[in-house]
Every structure is written in C-alpha cells, then in structure tokens.
Amino acid sequence: MVDVRVLLAKNMKRYREILGLSQTDLAEKVGCSPTLIGKIEIMKRFPSADNLNLIAKALKIDPADLFAKSEYSEAMKTTISRQEQKDILKNVVLKAIDEAF
C-alpha cells in the first residue's frame, strides 16, 4: 500500500513542474504561502480539502489525479492543449539552456 502523502507529494511536484510553475507560482494561484506548498511536497504538511481542490484547479487536473499511482496520468493529456504542451516544453528547454551558460 502506498502512503497518500507520498502520492500527493510526487504528483503535485510533477504536475507543477510539467506546467513550469515554481512553488511560489503555485502558491499564488492557490492563495497560500510558498512554505505550505514546499512542506506538502516534502510530506511535512497535508492540505485541507479546500486547498486540495484549489491545488488541483491550479494544476489543471482533477483532485483525484493528485493521488494517482500511475507515472503519467491521463489527465495531463486532456487538460492542457497541444499549444500549452509546446509552450511548456519550450520553457523547459530555454531554462536548461540558460542554466548551462
């Protein structure tokens, strides 16, 4: 059995990174502190039901996807457009290039 805190932490971080959001960016969208987002991702805190809904909305996923076991949820394939996927990939590549130089 997998701990729900582990699933939440991994999925939240993965979806956040896929969207190119920092913890601060996500916190602004959710209306909470970046510290809370960080503590959720390191399993030191567990969000309220209201915050779970806000986090899922900010990540453009269903709240249940925060607890999915699969490595790549079907939600990401359907919740963001092809253009958004391209923009995310572009941002990841540009960030990698900036960090390399």
- Residues 100 and 40: their CA atoms lie apart, in Å, by 30
**pLDDT tens readout for residues 18-49:** 899 999 999 999 999 999 999 999 999 999 99
Query: 27, 37 in Cβ contact below 8 A?
Result: yes
Q: Residue 3: left (phi > 0), alpha (psi -120 to 50), or beta?
A: beta
Predicted pLDDT at 82: 67
Looking up residue 94, the CATH number of its domain turns out to be 1.10.260.40
Number of domains in the chain: 1
- Residues 82 and 47: their CA atoms lie apart, in Å, by 31
Predicted pLDDT at 68: 87
Q: Domain of residue 23: give its range.
A: 4-100
Predicted pLDDT at 73: 47
**pLDDT tens readout for residues 50-90:** 999 999 999 999 999 999 886 544 545 555 666 776 777 77
DSSP string, 24-72: HHHHHHHTS-HHHHHHHHTTS----HHHHHHHHHHTTS-GGGGG--SSS
Q: Looking at the whole model, is its pTM more than 0.85?
A: no
Predicted pLDDT at 90: 75
Query: 62, 75 in Cβ contact below 8 A?
Result: yes
